[in-house]
Amino acid sequence: MRPNTIDIKCEVFNFNKYRNSGQLAVKIPEQKIPEGVYNFTIFGNQDNVDYIYSMLKPEVILTCLMEIALSPFGGHDIHKLHITGVGS
């Protein structure tokens, strides 16, 4: 794991190969981000084939950076995840 990145176990259920972005679902509690559905983009110049194949698996481990935004209800929310790599 690189500095400032986190590993999450999730399901990739949507991926657009033209935009290199998609959605993932975190279903396992007690991770570094709460359960829920998150938008993501591929960080940098990565091959998108691993992300397409990741949709065939019930869960994968992704290494990512979090983009945080101010919440209109106070505090902070995760706006988007920037994926730096795909694990198993």
Q: What is the pLDDT of residues 50-80, one digit of tens each?
A: 999 999 999 999 999 999 888 788 888 888 9
Global confidence as pTM: 0.87
Q: How far is Cα 79 from Cα 81, in angstroms, rounded to an integer?
A: 7
- Residue burial 22-61, b: 16+ Cβ < 10 Å; e: rest: bbbebeeeeeeeeeeebebbbbeeeebebbeebeeeebbe
Domain-wise residue ranges, the chain = 6-86
Q: Is pLDDT at 1 greater than 60 in this prediction? A: no
Q: In terms of pLDDT, which residue wins out, 87 or 13?
A: 13
Query: May I ask the CATH class of domain 6-86?
Result: mainly beta
